[in-house]
Structure 1
Amino acid sequence: MAARTWTAAPVVALVALALTWGRDIGTLVVVLVAILLALAVLAAVHHAEVVAHRVGEPFGSLVLAVAVTVIEVSLIVTLMLSGGDEAATLARDTVFAAVMITVNGIMGLSLLLGARRFGFARFNAEGTGGALATVAALAATCLVLPTFTTGQPGPEFTGPQLVFAAVASLSLYAAFVVTQTVRHRDFFLPVTKQGKPVTEEDSEDHADPPTNREASVSLVLLLLSLVGVVGLAKIESPAIESAVLAAGLPVSFVGVVIALLVLLPETIAAANAARRERIQVSLNLAMGSAMASIGLTIPTLAVASIWVPTPLHLGLGPTQIVLLSITMIAAVLTVVPGRATRLQGTVHLTLLAAFLFLSMSP
């Protein structure tokens, strides 16, 4: 599609969002909104790749991960304000879905595409291992511990415990960002077949980077696209909820569907990078998204809980804890060698399938 399509899509999506927000819409409008949602997703991917080309890695993948997560947090808070007590587990379900989709779905798809095309999917084990350790620590602190603490009835932190979890999350996320962008930036760059970081001179992408003006425009359009994606996903959620209930699925599965929609830009961007043998970029997106989804969401919700009357149930159930544990063990075994085959990609995609199936049939 022409560049003007990617320029117009975010604007049209926002106009549609303004016209449909808070209104009952018919079947035809639902279909049109779905089409605009798809265009907004593709526009977000395009503008994210423009920004990434200008600022280089790992900053490019960091921009998309943070942008998506900030808007995802806004969506969670909005739904909690309007959902009442039924939204008590919304944050937990959304964050857990994001972790499973990124660590199993995005990473598994990227490894499978890379290994299928190039024999092995090569990446930097040091950088990816550090990112995975951070994701595991965040998930255990914010999603597993609330199930076992006894200060508050149910899978919920007490006030001081929630403050600690929020501070710990922000600290871990800040430490990772400094490591990724300043102290050990080379750990998060694509690697050659010999395992060495790819420099700008070694890169096969010889196209001139966009100008500062072009990158700035794309950054603005990226943010507008993401607002459109999340907003239109919210508009589509009643139709999705009706379809879910009509199919006999639990209401909580609606959150999984919304998470899949919101993470589409990162999934497509990661798949595109994997096809260009830039597996490290794909893993940066996957791990960065999982990390930001916890590290930014929990502190924001801790502050929002001062005004939001809805209880905040963060603790995972037994089935979810088992899935998270298996995912982390498999991810460690995948990351340690610094290269992966189609088998590892298939393992992670199978774990994603198990998560989706058990979300539909708990």
Structure 2
Amino acid sequence: MTILKSELPSLTGFAVFAAFTVAGDALKPEKLGVGLSLVMLAVIFLTVMWCAFSVVRHAECLATILGEPFGTLILTLAVIGIEVALIVAIMLSGDAAPTMARDTMLSVVMIVLAGLIGLCLLIGGLRHKEQSYNLQGAQAFLSVLVPLSVFALVLPRFTHSAPGGELSLLQVGFEVVMSVLLYGVFLAIQTVTHSDIFRQPDAADDEEHHHGVVVRSLPFHVIGLLGALVPIILLSKKLALYVDFGISGVGAPLALSGFIVAALVLMPEGLSAIQAARENKLQRAVNICLGSAVATIGLTVPAVLMVSLFTGHSIELGLEEPEIVMLVLTLFVSLLTFGSRTTNYLMGAVHLALFAAYVLMIFDLS
């Protein structure tokens, strides 16, 4: 009974998907109208979020079993899997905007670097005054994130081999190969040769961070994590249909759909990072936040480009000029923030100011 209760999110996810499948065309957003479609969107959104929290719980248990940085890496890869599934589902929904993937990836980077980092540093700084972390680990993340972000989201706007922010076939090949290679080298550093630089300085060897959750066997949590991921993937196309219809119905800016997907994906992971900062485990918060940003560019970009290539769906990655300014400014401030071995709440306030400017820009540029 205890196990059944703990896996209730996954079971609910499968049940909701079955209900929508049985209902078929009766629950199509075009037939329900804007009002009921928003209700259905809320149902799917909450179900997916509940399953996402289950993914995080199993990842936390695996982190306890395997230790750092493997635990955080599992959590990051699981969340990126959700992100890719949602983006691809929206891309294949039929009438998705070519900028959907770009908007989602930019939202992930901005939510992580400006919003989550800001909250972690502000909350942790107010609670502990100054917090320490492994400087080499943070710089390793940023050394990969900065060039990959520029290659994927900035460079396509200034090249002329393809119109607008689209990529030519040569650029697609470069992006896929470069992203996979750089992320592969980074994984080798993180998990094999330099894993010590991604651990909290002066942390006890037996320190645990599963916050009271029941840790069972390795196979149980692997199966549980996959069992929570499957309903998210199954519901992703349904979510895409209602997000697209709802955004159009209320006249919201198209970029808001990418922000919604990014917020949904990052919600459970973000709460885990904030909890770590509250407990003065800033290195774990840094691993989660910066790891998400690096994995988003390093893994999501190749995934969506390959889907675009094989399905013929048009995709634009090059940002508009105001967005480029916000991205470059955020990357620059992040380099300043993680340029010393301690942080305080002033840095958190600066990052949150950047996040507020980004949210304003979403509506101002529509």
TM-score in terms of structure 2 length: 0.88
Check whether the contact 2:132–2:201 (CA below 8 A) recurs between aligned residues: yes
Residue 303 of structure 2 corresponds to residue 300 of structure 1: yes
Partner of 1:353: 356
Partner of 1:52: 63
Residue 336 of structure 2 corresponds to residue 333 of structure 1: yes
Write out per-residue CA displacement over residues 7-61 of structure 1, whole angstroms, 9 at most, x where no aligned residue.
2211221221232256516646555444433432332232221111111111111
Letter in 2 for 1:221: G
The 5 A counterparts of 1:240-259 are 240-241=243-244, 244-245=247-248, 247-259=250-262
Partner of 1:195: none
Residue 105 of structure 2 corresponds to residue 92 of structure 1: no
SS in 2 for 1:263: helix
Residue 28 of structure 2 corresponds to residue 17 of structure 1: no
Check whether the contact 2:82–2:232 (CA below 8 A) recurs between aligned residues: no
TM-score in terms of structure 1 length: 0.89
Distance 1:310 1:34, change over 3 A: closer
The 5 A counterparts of 1:91-130 are 91-130=101-140
SS in 2 for 1:154: coil
Structure 2 CA distance for aligned equivalents of residues 11 and 52 of structure 1: 23
Distance 1:350 1:241, change over 3 A: farther
Check whether the contact 2:156–2:318 (CA below 8 A) recurs between aligned residues: yes
SS in 2 for 1:132: helix
SS in 1 for 2:93: helix
Q: 2:199 is matched with which residue: 185, 189, 192? A: 189
SS in 2 for 1:151: coil
The 5 A counterparts of 1:55-66 are 55-66=66-77
Deviation at 1:344, TM superposition (A): 0.8
RMSD, aligned CA: 2.5
Residue 140 of structure 2 corresponds to residue 135 of structure 1: no
Distance 1:47 1:335, change over 3 A: same
Partner of 2:188: 178
Structure 2 CA distance for aligned equivalents of residues 264 and 120 of structure 1: 25
Deviation at 1:230, TM superposition (A): 5.4
Deviation at 1:357, TM superposition (A): 1.8
Check whether the contact 1:106–1:282 (CA below 8 A) recurs between aligned residues: no
Q: 1:200 is matched with which residue: 192, 197, 205? A: 205
Letter in 2 for 1:69: I
Check whether the contact 1:53–1:210 (CA below 8 A) recurs between aligned residues: no
Letter in 2 for 1:294: I
Write out per-residue CA displacement over residues 108-145 of structure 1, whole angstroms, 9 at most, x where no aligned residue.
22212221211112211111011012111110011111
Q: 2:277 is matched with which residue: 265, 274, 281? A: 274
Q: What residue ranges of structure 2 are gaps of 5+ in the alignment?
A: none
Partner of 1:5: 5
Distance 1:164 1:279, change over 3 A: same
The 5 A counterparts of 1:310-321 are 310-321=313-324
> How many residue pairs were aligned?
353
Distance 1:19 1:123, change over 3 A: same
Deviation at 1:83, TM superposition (A): 3.0
Partner of 2:176: 166
Structure 2 CA distance for aligned equivalents of residues 273 and 3 of structure 1: 26
Deviation at 1:180, TM superposition (A): 0.8
Residue 63 of structure 2 corresponds to residue 72 of structure 1: no
Write out per-residue CA displacement over residues 196-239 of structure 1, whole angstroms, 9 at most, x where no aligned residue.
xx2414x376999977x623222222233234345546534555
Deviation at 1:94, TM superposition (A): 1.1
Deviation at 1:5, TM superposition (A): 3.1
Identical-residue share of aligned pairs (%): 34
Check whether the contact 1:123–1:279 (CA below 8 A) recurs between aligned residues: yes
Q: What residue ranges of structure 1 are gaps of 5+ in the alignment?
A: 193-197
Distance 1:32 1:247, change over 3 A: closer
Structure 1 CA distance for aligned equivalents of residues 211 and 264 of structure 2: 31
Check whether the contact 2:132–2:282 (CA below 8 A) recurs between aligned residues: yes
